[in-house]
Amino acid sequence: MLSYGVAGVLVGIAYTLSPLTVCCGIAIALMIWLGGRGLEPAERRRLQIVLGIAIGVRVLAVAGLFLMTDHARVPFGSFFGDEEYFLRRSMWLRNVGLGIPIHSADLIYAFDDYSETSQLYILGFLQTLVGFAPYGAHLVGIALYLGTVLLLFRLVRPAFGATPALLGLLLMLTLPSLFAWSISALKEPLFFALTSVALASVVAAVREPRWRRKIGLTAIAIAGSLALQTLRRGGFALEAASIAGGIALAWIIVRPRLFVAAVVAATLLCAAALARPRVQVNVADALVQVATYHRGHIWTPGLTYHLLDDRLYGDVVDIRTMRRDEAARYVVKALFSYVTVPLPNQIYSTAALAFLPEQIVWYLLVGFALVGLVFAMRRDVLIASLLLTHAVVAALLIAFTSGNIGTLVRHRGFALPYLIWISAVGACELLARGASGGRIHKA
Amino acid sequence: MTVIDERGRVFGRINLIDAAAALFLFVLIPVAYGAYVLFRTPQPKLTSITPNKLYHGPNQRVEIHGVNLRPYMRVTFGGTQGVTFAITSTISATVEVPDLPPGEYDVALFDYKQEVDRAPHALTILSVEPIPSVDVEVSGSFKNLNESLAREFQPGVKLTRGNITAEVLRVGTPVPSTFRLLAGTAVLAMPVPDQLELPAALRVRCYTEVGGDAMVRCMVPGPQHPAPVAPDSMLSLPASQGWVGFQIGTVALTATPPVVTLRVLFSATPELVAMVKAGDVDADVVAYASAVRARLVSVKPAGAGGATVEATLTVPATPGPAGWAYNNQALKAGLPFRFETAGYVITGQVIGVTPPSPARPR
């Protein structure tokens, strides 16, 4: 009884100091309990150990940030440059909401079109409830990311097996770029969470026999996709394309004759469409737009890489003047660079060496994914297809627009939460076949 | 039942030749036509070019208008390919025109392999008004020289590179270098330690340019930017060891100017008047540049006390709308006249102007 009393007092003190820490702590504990529900005791224990360490390291990082920040000089610390601006904007929105006067310049920045996202309002609302929480916002990010990981873990575990699911979970929690996203107060943790909710809802909706629940789950998936649109421009279209593409792929790939017919029909349809000048102009225009984004990245600080021919990087050169051969080289280089950058000859500074460990893991993940896709499709074609289309859509978006090595490495994190599970299947299959000449069994 | 019986009928019903003809007529031809319609890329066509007349010059663009234009096409002007092709829509694109000499050009549209349309004489390149070049004589000094470089500049030496042409006419003796710098509205002379300058007169070729204020200036090309021909302007001229600066002091046209004979009464203190001698040369504007300078031809006393002299001068003059002028001074009886040598400055009143006999003010 006494221990409950002491615990209550401690929680009360903690809530007074940081309400969001207590709220996130409760949410994380709930998620860990739900994540391990129904698992064998040994597996549940392994899962809880992994999650405990992962959460502990992340909380330590946030605590370290708090301790290392000179609060006499700055109001709060942040991990990334964008983060400080992001948190300040959410605070200005909170103040506006509460009718607290703010500087007119801050008022303009609070509603600036640049980086406009619903995440700002969510953080603003949370801080309206609990007060300023520049460090608590990181804990919200951690909780959201942990929710994403556990949701995907619970989705793939019955489909792909216990070992690939645990391996995927480990990678999701330890890869440096994903670790960085997971502790950030930026919109990425929420983006991952909403995407995985939409993905899991679609899988459940497809398999749900009862129409009422099927409609409910579909509504959740659509709501998640619409919420993504408020979070990131084009979020709904990207998620809709990923889901529609995944379902279509899963449906057709198990019907080989129809699949071949569809490939032929799609090829003919593309040829017929591309014969139209208007379609050609639209395609070329889209290519010019993404190439323009890429060129913008080249002019950012840090290490960069080129996808276009050198003449197109001139200050006054119009990218619309890109020739056919230049466009073809751009497309090939973009796809190749997405997988390979940074190559060893592009690591020409000590700072760039920091990318090396993750780069090696990335190469392995890509290699294992090629193998794992076949086995994942055999095990659960719907989940494998949805994971694949989510990874491909995220990859294509980044491949053609990126030009900064650091940004590319970080933004590959958008494809990783889906690719990792397929790679884990490939790695486990190869290891199992190498070790015993057999294949691993589903749990 | 056999597929084709002994009478050549398919399944005993239709003649094989008839079946083949029917297949060709009712299946293959519609399929072929459908495929042609579906996969045929419409033929692009040029309709007009805007503008269709350009003045000769670099970095120019035209907008081509047409139908069914596509990305990655090419346009040629009289066989010379346009530098770029930037499509805006299926009916227009912007093309960077290559450097073409004046003339009329056919404009041809190409896809990736062949010409698809041609507009004869669609683009005209007009010749621009020729920019007049003139030779002027400038006096001033070569700046920042060492002794060996100073020895290079001798009368008759030509300094030429590209479209920069200058000839050394006369040189003086090297002296410590001094820059004349513009500070606000004042011109300051600033000595440069350990450097020499070489006074000299040059003949330089310059081209005329109309500035934003609509005034005509003569510009000498330079390695980075052209410099105007004007007092204190710094020209960059080619020398054996690289570019060398030449700061202009005075300017004059190289053509022999008309010479006006003036009679002037100079009045001053007896000491100053005593310094005025026949043969004195005006040193103000054309001290180095022109062989023809304002010169005192004769001086005679014109009153008691030696405070006034009547001088006769020959003056290189330029005709203007209001009569003859010298160094921005109108040459008219009754007007003051300023005469300056290295030793004195004296002001008098013009009492007679005799224009040159062959030339008249226009």
Last residue of a domain, one of B71, B102, B126: B126
CB-CB under 8 Å, B38 with A277: no
Report chain A residues whose CB lies below 8 A from the CB of B84. Answer: 318, 321
Residues of B with CB under 8 A from a CB of A: 38-42, 44, 68-72, 84-90, 94, 96, 112
Interval A347-387: pLDDT, tens = 767 767 777 888 899 999 999 999 999 999 999 999 999 99
**In B, which residues are within 8 Å of A271 by CB distance?**
39
Report whether A35 contacts A147 (CB < 8 A).
Answer: no
Q: Using an 8 Å Cβ cutoff, are B283 and B250 in contact?
A: no
Please indicate whether, in this complex, the C-beta atoms of B38 and A278 are within 8 angstroms of each other. Answer: no
Instruction: Give the list of residues 6+ apart from residue A72 with CB closer than 8 angstroms, or none.
Output: none
Cβ atoms of residues A338 and A391 within 8 Å:
no
Please check whether residue A362 is in contact with residue A411, taking contact to mean a CB–CB distance below 8 angstroms: no
What single-letter amino acid sits at B323? G
- Token digits of residue A78: 């942040």
Contacts of A323 in chain B (CB under 8 A): 72, 85
Q: Which residues of chain A register pLDDT less than 50?
A: 443
Query: How confident is the model at residue B6, as a pLDDT?
Result: 78
Which residue is closest to B83 within chain A, CA to CA?
A321
Return the exposure string of B235-270: e unless at least 16 CB atoms fall within 10 Å of the residue's CB, then b. Answer: bbbbbeeeebbbbbbbbbbeeebbbbbbbbbbebee
**Structure confidence at residue B287 (pLDDT):** 43
Could you tell me which chain A residue has the CA closest to the CA of B36?
A: A272
- Residue B200 inside a domain? The answer is yes
End-to-end CA distance of chain B: 117
From residue B85, how far is each of A320, B54, B61, B224, B304 by CA, in Å? 8, 18, 10, 31, 87
Per-domain residue ranges of chain A: 15-254
Q: Does A320 touch chain B (CB under 8 A)?
A: yes
Of the residues B31, B36, B37, B38, the best mutation for testing chain A's interface (the one with the most A CB atoms within 10 Å of its CB) is: B38
Write the CB contacts of A194 (distance below 8 Å, at least 6 apart in sequence). A224, A225, A227, A228, A231
CB contact under 8 A, B72 and A284: yes
Of A393-407, B273-287, B318-332, where does mean pLDDT reach its minimum? B273-287
Got the DSSP string for B286-321?
-TTT-S---EEEEEEE-SGGG-EEEEEEEEE-EEET
Query: Which residues in chain B touch residue A278, judged by CB atoms under 8 angstroms apart?
Result: 90
Q: pLDDT confidence of B288, banded at 50, 70, 90?
A: very low
Alpha-carbon distance of B277 to B294, in angstroms, equals 13
Q: What is the pLDDT of residue B1?
A: 63
Q: Are residues B231 and B271 in the same domain?
A: no
In angstroms, rounded to a whole number, what is the distance separating the alpha carbons of residues A323 and A283? 14
- pLDDT digits 0-9 by tens, A175-210: 988 999 999 999 999 999 999 999 999 999 999 999
Q: In this structure, is residue B273 part of a structural domain?
A: yes
Residue B263 shares a structural domain with residue B248? no
Q: What are phi and psi of B276, to 5 degrees?
A: -80, 120
Alpha-carbon gap, residue B119 to B42, rounded angstroms: 18
pLDDT at A441: 52
**Residue B3 domain-assigned (yes or no):** no
Are the C-beta atoms of A1 and A28 separated by less than 8 Å? no
DSSP-derived 3-state class of residue B99: coil
CATH classification of the domain holding B307: 2.40.30
Considering the domain architecture, whether residues B64 and B24 belong to the same structural domain is answered as no
d(CA A385, CA A417): 14
CB contact under 8 A, A321 and B41: no
Asked if the structure places residue B206 within a domain, the reply is yes
Q: Do A275 and B38 touch (CB under 8 A)?
A: yes
Total domains present in chain B: 4
Residues B273, B304: one domain?
yes
Please list every residue in chain B whose beta carbon sits closer than 8 Å to the beta carbon of residue A267: none
Å between A97 CA and nearest CA of chain B: 45
Residue A406, C-beta contacts closer than 8 angstroms, at least 6 positions apart: A302, A303, A355
Cis preceding-peptide flag for B193 (omega within 30 of 0): no
Sign of CA pseudo-dihedral A34, A35, A40, A42: negative
Q: Which chain A residues are Cβ-neighbours of B44 within 8 angstroms? A: 277
Minimal Cβ distance to B42: which of A277, A281, A320: A277
pLDDT at A364: 95
Phi (first) and psi of residue A198, to 5 degrees:
-60, -45
Structural domain harbouring B72: 45-126
Q: How far is CA A135 from the centre of its chain?
A: 21
Classify residue B118: in a domain, yes or no.
yes
Q: Do B86 and A318 touch (CB under 8 A)?
A: yes
CA dist B303 and B351 (Å) reads: 15
Q: Which of B126, B161, B177 is the last residue before a domain boundary?
A: B126
Q: Is B234 helix (H, G, I), strand (E, B) or coil?
A: strand
Q: Do A277 and B39 touch (CB under 8 A)?
A: no
Angle among Cα B150, B152, B158 to the nearest 5 degrees reads 125
Domain co-membership, B35 together with B103:
no
E strand or H helix at B160, and its extent?
strand B158-161
Other Cβ atoms closer than 10 A to B88: 15
Min distance B174 CA to chain A CA atoms (Å): 47
Strand partners, B123: B105
CB-based contact A284 B41, cutoff 8 Å: no
Whether residue A120 contacts residue A89, with contact meaning beta carbons closer than 8 Å, is answered with: yes
Kindly state the average pLDDT of the residues B233-249.
89
- CATH number, domain with residue B58: 2.60.40.10
- The answer to whether A272 faces chain B, any CB pair under 8 Å, is yes
Partner B contacted by A277 (CB < 8 A): yes
Q: For residues B12 and B140, which has the higher predicted lDDT (pLDDT)?
A: B140
With tokens 């694949």, the residue in question is A388
Q: A271 and chain B: CB distance < 8 Å anywhere? A: yes
- Partners of B201 in beta bridges: B139, B170
Measured between CB atoms, which of A271, A318, A323 is closest to B72?
A323
End position of a domain, from candidates B126, B151, B177: B126
Give the confidence band of B160 by pLDDT, cuts at 50, 70, 90: confident
Whether A321 sits inside 8 A of B38 (CB atoms) is no
Whether residue B230 sits in one domain with residue B316:
no
Q: For residues B30, B36, B37 and B42, what is the CA-based torsion angle, rounded to 10 degrees?
A: -160
For residue B361, being part of any structural domain is answered with no
pTM summary value: 0.68
In chain B, residues with a C-beta closer than 8 Å to the C-beta of A276 are: 41-42
Distance from CA of B331 to the nearest CA of A (A): 55
Report whether pLDDT(B25) > 80: yes
Q: How far apart are CA A289 and CA A287, in angstroms?
A: 5
User: Which of B154-168, B271-285, B325-339 shows the lowest per-residue confidence on average (mean pLDDT)?
Assistant: B271-285
- C-alpha R_g of chain B: 39
Helix (H), strand (E), coil (C) string for chain A: CHHHHHHHHHHHHHHHHCHHHHHHHHHHHHHHHHHHCCCCHHHHHHHHHHHHHHHHHHHHHHHHHHHHCCCCCCCCCCCCHHHHHHHHHHHHHHHHHHCCCCCHHHHHHHCCCCCCCHHHHHHHHHHHHHCCCCCHHHHHHHHHHHHHHHHHHHHHHHHHCHHHHHHHHHHHHHCHHHHHHHCCCCCHHHHHHHHHHHHHHHHHHHHCCCHHHHHHHHHHHHHHHHHHHHHCCCHHHHHHHHHHHHHHHHHHHCCHHHHHHHHHHHHHHHHHHHCCHHHHHHHHHHHHHHHHHHHHHHCCCCCECCCCCHHHHCCCCCHHHCCHHHHHHHHHHHHHHHHHCCCHHHCCCCHHHHHHHHHHHHHHHHHHHHHHHHHHHHHCHHHHHHHHHHHHHHHHHHHHHCCEHHHHHHHHHHCHHHHHHHHHHHHHHHHHHHHHCCCCCCC
Do B140 and B238 fall within a single domain?
yes
Residues of B in contact with A324 (CB under 8 A): 71-72, 112
Token pair 């198990």: residue: A254
What ipTM is given for this predicted complex? 0.72
Contacts of A291 in chain B (CB under 8 A): none
Q: Distance (Å, rounded) from C-alpha A22 to C-alpha A96? A: 26
Query: pLDDT tens across B60-97, in order?
Result: 999 999 999 999 999 999 989 999 999 999 999 999 99
Residues B188 and B218 in one domain: yes
